[in-house]
Amino acid sequence: MSTTTPKRQQLIEALCTRLEAITISGGYRTDAGQHVYLNEEPPWSDSDPDLAVVVAVGEDQPGFQRKKFAIQLPIEVHALARADLDAPYLMIETLLGDIKEAIELDDRTVGGLVDHQFDRGATRVLEREEGSESVGVAIGYVFPYFESWGAP
């Protein structure tokens, strides 16, 4: 058995680390990096922040190439704002800029975890469900990497 952390997990953790760097003291326009969630909506309450980021890991697309799987891992990053704010979508646009700056560094291999450069997909407005306490947009990324059979 291997004690090495699977590449998929390393990639998700590295992406979260990049997003957690979003702070005003770090040179960004928001402090949303203090509120990064993985595959879950933040619990909004009066004491919670105005902005949050959710990393939503999608269904990967495995392909087979020689003795390795070529994986395409789609990840959406959601920029969320409390719905009860004045002009929440303008705050989201500011956060969206921060997200792009935090993720889209010169190193498009995410420290060598991605075998080819990752790509940015579309940005879409998230549909607000009835009773939802937040509004948001999602920006998509696709991270290609290789994984060997039985050795993730």
Domain at 35, CATH number: 3.30.2000.10
The residues facing 51 across adjacent strands are 81
Pairing of strands 51-57, 36-38: parallel
Distance CA(22)–CA(29), nearest Å, equals 8
Q: Is residue 20 part of a domain?
A: yes
Residues 6+ apart with CB under 8 A from 146: 65, 68, 69, 70, 71, 115
Q: Is the whole model's pTM more than 0.85, yes or no?
A: yes
Whether 152 shows a pLDDT value over 90: the answer reads: no
Residue 11 lies in a domain: yes
> How many domains, in total, are found in the chain?
1
Please indicate, yes or no, if residue 101 is contained in any of the structural domains.
yes
Q: Which domain holds residue 53?
A: 7-148
Asked if residue 77 belongs to a domain, the reply is: yes
Confidence of residue 29 (pLDDT cuts 50, 70, 90): very high
Q: What is the pLDDT of residues 49-98, one digit of tens each?
A: 899 999 999 999 888 767 788 899 999 999 999 988 899 999 999 999 99
